[in-house]
Structure 1
Amino acid sequence: MNDSRRIKGKHVAIDYDATRAFFESRGKREYANVLSATMYQDHNAELVEKRDQAEKAAMADILGLGQVRRILDIGCGTGRWGWYLASNCQGLEYLGLDFSASLIEKAQQESVKRQLAGLHFQVMSATDIQPQALLLQAPFDLALISGLLIYLNDADCIKVLRDAAQLIVAGGGIYLREPVGVSERFTLDRFYSEELADEYSAIYRTADELRKLMAQAFEGLGIFVEHEGFLFPEGLEKRAETRQYFFVLRRQGTEL
């Protein structure tokens, strides 16, 4: 049964209602490490911590975090980027968005527990960002899209990327990090995961497919790729079929 839920090389739409239910459930659970709510590894708190720290350490200089102040985190989950930014960006104004109310509640609880300033969280779907309703108004210096597009169908990936580009200042950046299919695209369609003890849906695109989506999303907006590459050494990767890949994108201009 599970083999029929692993679809290779084909474009298959995933169901957003199932994805929302999955994350609402994740947000209501307790974990040895709160990072597991969205980064998984439920039974390996040490690995999830190492992966979180490695991503932030690798990206801090590349993203120029010492020079940014206003940051929009699209699909923020438990707000893990906010924790790091609050300690590394002077005068931080951070807004984390997520469609899951339970994850936003967890993010708010964590920011209070950690006594972090400058962090704001809001329930809002990445596919339906309402600029006038944001708790912090655009433009932003940096938009983060970290592990989000795998839960979206292609048309919505294009929309989210284009919306993000239109919400940053000239000279501003976008950090895009996604698990990619190493050899080909494959989709998990309500695949039952023993590790997660739940049905899980995701689309693992190739890096080249992401480039094609970006080309459509950023047409006419002056967005270019500044850096890209594999995020982790192989020792921090757990699956042979996928690897974490990142793009740092920049909007032409000099306002930042």
Structure 2
Amino acid sequence: MQEKSAGERIREKKVSLDTAKVKAFFDARCQKDLPYLYNYTNYQDNHPALALERDRAEKARIAPLLAAASDALILDIGCGVGRWGDEFAVHLAGNGRYVGVDYSEGLLQLAKEHAKERENCEFYCGSFQELSAALPQKYRGKVFDRILVNGVLMYVNDEDLSLCISNVKDLLSRGGILYVKESVSYGKRLTLNQMYSEELSHDYSAIYRGIDEYEALWREFFPAQDGWKIIERGEVWENALGNRRETTAYFWLVQRK
């Protein structure tokens, strides 16, 4: 167990996270013996089955909206253990591929081991900021029919947001759909900066932006006049599955015309 640190809870003020320490959290997490694979990224260490319930609820609501042709190319940025690969792999055939990218080598090892029998699932190591470099040559110049950014932006500092969102725009096909899911603050921005989590037994950092902040970003980067449209948005699951007083899981589906 890591030695406890004081950390900071910061309201409204924009501060940057130490990205090396954020990565260290995930590297350390991969060394834990957790009851379910999805606990490594969906957390809930004190209530491990809740991670599975949330996964089922999310996929029941979102998967039908992300339905794609069997030969679709799916890109999952921050794929973690590849839990969305479990959903897409059974529907893909032929040239269809689920491509997961994550910057944690430990999480990718778990994902690869889990999906080792699936020829239509691929995993590559790289950061959101250097996304193109993470993809192999065969995907250079190609676009993806579905892109998922699931619980990633909360670890991205403000100075890197523009680059990350631009990377997504360049890789989404015409008619393609982008799924963004984030833990957001119910009110103004809340930043946890190296706060020790009793549940996770480790220092934890994250930026919980408000919904209004994300809406402003989407208006800037996905303007309707350029053929972008938010086709769905809302809280991911019912209140019964939420156990945080200050944050909630929120999603947006953005389509490129």
TM-score by length of 2: 0.91
In structure 2, list runs of 5 or more residues that go unmatched. none
Cα-to-partner distance string for 1:80-116 (whole Å, 9 max, x where unaligned): 100111123344301100011111111101112xx33
User: CA separation in 2, counterparts of 1:167 and 1:231?
Assistant: 25
Which residue type is aligned with residue 105 of structure 2?
A: A
Question: Match for residue 236 of structure 1?
Answer: 241
User: What is the correspondence of 1:98-177 to structure 2 with a 5 Å cutoff?
Assistant: 98-112=102-116, 115-130=117-132, 133-134=135-136, 137=139, 138-177=142-181
Tell me the distance in 1 between the aligned counterparts of 2:189 and 2:237: 20
Q: Which moved more, 1:206-215 or 1:164-173?
A: 206-215
1:22 to 9, 25, 28: 25
Q: Does 1:196 align with 2:196?
A: no
Among the aligned pairs, what percent are the same residue? 34
Contact 1:9 1:184 (C-alpha < 8 Å) held by counterparts? yes
Query: Are residues 1:50 and 2:53 paired?
Result: yes
**Bigger CA drift: 203-212 or 213-222?**
213-222
CA distance in 2, matches of 1:135, 1:245: 34
Q: Encode CA deviations 1:230-251: one digit per residue, 9 max, x unaligned.
A: 1110000110111111000001
- Asked if structure 1 preserves the Cα contact closer than 8 Å seen for 2:188 and 2:210, the reply is yes
Structure with higher helix content: 1
Instruction: Check 1:2–1:232 CA distance in 2 against 1; reply closer, same or farther (3 A cut).
Output: farther
Q: Match for 1:17: what amino acid?
A: A
Q: Which moved more, 1:37-46 or 1:212-221?
A: 212-221
| Structure 1 residues 108 and 183: alpha-carbon distance in aligned structure 2, compared to 1, 3 A threshold | same
Q: Aligned partner of 2:238: which letter? A: P
What is the DSSP-based 3-state SS (H/G/I as helix, E as strand, rest coil) of the residue aligned with 1:32?
coil
Contact 1:140 1:172 (8 Å CA) reproduced: yes
From 201, 209, 215, the counterpart of 1:211: 215
Does residue 1:89 correspond to 2:81, yes or no?
Answer: no
Residue-by-residue CA offset, 1:49-95 (whole Å, 9 max, x unaligned): 00011111100122224567110000000111001111233443011
1:28-43 → structure 2 map (5 Å cutoff): 28-43=31-46
SS in structure 1 of the partner of residue 249 of structure 2: strand
Q: 1:191-234 CA deviation, whole Å, 9 max, x = no partner?
A: 00000000000000111101112233335853221111111100
CA offsets 1:1-51 (integer angstroms, 9 cap, x no match): 978611111111111000011111112322101111111012322111000
Deviates further, 72-81 or 124-133: 124-133
- Tell me the distance in 2 between the aligned counterparts of 1:62 and 1:238: 26
Give the CA deviation at 1:130. Answer: 1.9
Counterpart Cα distance in 1 of 2:134 and 2:52 = 35
With normalisation by structure 1, the TM-score equals 0.91
Identify unmatched segments of 5+ residues in structure 1.
none
Equivalent residue, structure 2, for 1:246:
251
1-structure distance, mates of 2:236, 2:247: 12
- Equivalent position of 2:81 in the other structure: 78
What RMSD, in angstroms, separates the aligned Cα atoms of the two structures?
A: 2.0
CA distance in 1, matches of 2:169, 2:70: 19
Compared CA separation, residues 174 and 136, structure 1 to 2 (3 A) = farther
Structure 1 residue 8 corresponds to structure 2 residue 6 = no
